Structures are given as C-alpha cells and as structure tokens.
Amino acid sequence: MNFQDELKIKTDEIEAVIKSYLPKEEGFARTMAEAMNYSMLAGGKRLRPLFMRETFRLFGGEGKVAEPFMAAMEMIHTHSLIHDDLPAIDNDDYRRGRLTTHKVYGEAMGVLSGVALLNYAYEVMLSAFDILPGDERVVRALRIMAGKTGIHGMLGGQSVDVENDGKPLTQDMLDYIYRNKTSALIEASMMTGAILAGADEEQVKLIEQAALNIGLAFQIQDDILDVTSTEEELGKPTHSDEKNNKVTYVSLMGIEEASRQVEALSGEALALIESLEQKNEFLCQLVRELIMRRK
C-alpha cells in the first residue's frame, strides 16, 4: 500500500472517531451545536490527531484511550480557526473551500461556537477516565493539553500575533508566535500520544523537540503556500498575509531561504524520531510530506 492510500485510510478512521464525539444538534442550544459541527465537519488534514495516534502507536500504544484526546485536539484546533476567521482578527470569508462559520451563522455565534468547542474538548478528554479510571497517564496528558492550549501555548501565541498585527516584527518575536500559535498543538498531540502509550520522560522530551520543529516547518510552509499556491489548491484566499500586513518568514527572508528552513527543521525532526529504538515509518513519511504539500 502506498503512502497516500494509507493516509486516506487513517484519516477516514480519525474522521469516524471525531464524529463519534460531536455534540447532538438538539434542544434550545441546537444552533450552537450546528455551528460547532459545521466547523468540525469542514474537512481538513486532521494532522494533529493523526500525529497523536501515530506517536501513540510508535510507543506501542493499544486500545481506545487516545481517541477522546484525538477528537478533543481537533476541537481545540477548529476553535482557533473559527476565531482566526472572525472580522476582529483575519476577517476571512472562506475556510477549506467553503464559507467560514461566522459568514454562515453570524459573528456572535461564531464567537460562541468557538468557545463552546474549546470547552467541549475538555469534557471529551475527561471521558478518557471512563476507559482508564484514575490512570496517571490520563492526568499527565490532560496537563499537557491544558498547558499547550492556554496562555503559555496556543492562545498566548495568538494574543501576541493579534497585538502586533501589521507592526514590524523581529524574527525572535515571530518565532515566539509560531512556536506557540502553531507548534504548541503539534507538541501537545505528539506528547499526549507518547504519554498515553507509556513513554518515559526522556522520550517525551525528545518527542516535544521533534514536534516543535515539525510545527515551525509546517507554519513556514504555510507562509510559502500563501504566496505560491492557488485559492483552489489552498481552499482559502491566497495572499491573505500580505493583505493583512502580516510579517512572515517569506516577508523576512524570501521564499528560497524560507524553503531551506522548512527542509532543515523537518530534517532535524526526522533525525530525532529515527534515533528512537521504536520505529514508525508512516510517521516519518508524514513529516516528509509536509515539505512537499501544496495545501
């Protein structure tokens, strides 16, 4: 089986897991549930839950304990996309080839459904105790997910990004934004997978560093695609960074040097993962695909 066929099978499996945890569209809060599900079912690469599951498997994880965390991670990520698209931030009309949540349900419901997804993610993660009652691995995974999501992770990076929108940025500040806004969720995904599978502290730290590099490479490649890809390929408007006066790796150092950064960071991440005694070739190929993706 080639990589693309295997990727589709694995992505479909993750899609089924995600759907099994979505809120029911019923009762007085039905519209908010519909808005949450509209965003969650908009497609996408499901990259973060995929990284979580493959890292879980890398360390010999078995069973369903990772599944609520996989679904929750996609909820957290989708919440950030809903809020990114709002008029107060990026003011985007399209995401993944269709109208953004606030364009369909209104700005107020866009805000509320994003917050609801973030909260619901923690409800879903806590259901892991139904699978492994009182297990310390679940507690450790919850701490990682909470820490990498909040002020010292994704939301912290988002706040610095918004506060400095349109202003000149140094590379240090841009790296801070990228490490937190993008890398933090990939770190959380891979570290959670490792922890739930029983990886030791040294192995989890190695995975954290590899995930940091993967996240930076992914975000820089996103910068490149915003300039070089088409709207049809990307599923959202191109040149949005330029339109919003955003400083990116491309604007700081040009496409060629940004591309070299992607290759270097991905290479370092692969070297770390391949240094482990445990092996998962699909996980390594997934990292390689980040360099070549067009969407």
The pLDDT value recorded for residue 228 is 84
For residue 149, pLDDT over 70 is answered with: yes
Total domain count for the chain?
A: 1
Are the C-beta atoms of 191 and 59 separated by less than 8 Å?
no
What percent of the chain is predicted at pLDDT more than 70? 94
Rounded CA-CA distance 80/110 in Å is 11
Mean pLDDT throughout 219-238?
71
Contacting residues for 33 by C-beta, under 8 A, at least 6 apart:
23, 24, 25, 26
pTM to 2 decimals?
0.92
Question: Residue 76's domain spans which residues?
Answer: 3-292
For the cut 90, the answer to whether the pLDDT of residue 28 exceeds it is yes
Report whether pLDDT(232) > 70. Answer: no
pLDDT digits (tens, 9 = 90+) for 35-64: 999 999 998 899 999 999 999 999 999 999
Q: Which helix (H) or strand (E) holds 235?
A: none
CA-CA distances (angstroms) from residue 273 to 7, 52, 213, 276? 19, 14, 11, 6
Residue 130, Cβ neighbours under 10 Å: how many? 10
pLDDT at 166: 85
- We report the CATH number of the domain holding residue 42 as 1.10.600.10
**pLDDT of 230:** 53
**Other CB atoms within 10 Å distance of the CB of residue 80:** 21
Would strands 98-99 and 94-95 be described as parallel, antiparallel, or unpaired? antiparallel
